[in-house]
């Protein structure tokens, strides 16, 4: 039986953030212009990079695009909160 290996810390962090924000692998892959298969290979630790530079470029692209999706989600949440507040204010004002 092959020895177990841990995934790199950064891939575990990415997967955790995806889970927290309910971002699918397909959504992140699309934003990065990666195939779903490629992104899964990277996040599962099964992609063998030719160089550290190549791995670092891929990591940066994933991190930057994940952050962009997270920011979009946070803006959407804030917008919804503001709309809910306005609706509540308008209802209570007319009482």
pLDDT digits (tens, 9 = 90+) for 37-67: 999 999 999 999 999 999 999 999 999 999 9
Mean pLDDT of 29-42: 98
CA 88 vs CA 15, 46, 78, 83, 85: distances in Å: 36, 50, 15, 9, 5
**Confidence (pLDDT) at 82:** 82
Mean pLDDT of 82-86: 79
Mean pLDDT of 18-37: 97
**Confidence (pLDDT) at 30:** 98
**Sorting pLDDT into bands at 50, 70 and 90, what band is 3?**
low
Rounded to the nearest 10 degrees, how much is the dihedral formed by the CA atoms of 45, 48, 54, 58? Answer: -30
Rg (CA), the chain: 19
By the 10 Å C-beta count (0-12 exposed, 13-18 middle, 19+ buried), 17 is classed as middle
**Confidence (pLDDT) at 40:** 97
Q: Record the pTM.
A: 0.81
10, 60 Cβ separation under 8 angstroms: no
């Amino acid at each position: 039986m092959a020895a177990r290996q841990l995934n790199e810390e950064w891939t575990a962090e990415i997967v955790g953030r995806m889970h927290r924000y309910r971002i699918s692998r397909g959504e992140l892959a699309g934003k990065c212009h990666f195939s779903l298969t490629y992104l899964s290979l990277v996040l599962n630790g099964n992609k063998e990079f030719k160089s550290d530079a190549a791995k670092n470029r891929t990591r940066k692209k994933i991190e930057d695009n994940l952050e962009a999706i997270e920011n979009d989600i946070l803006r959407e949440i804030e917008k919804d909160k503001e709309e809910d507040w306005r609706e509540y204010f308008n209802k209570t004002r007319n009482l």
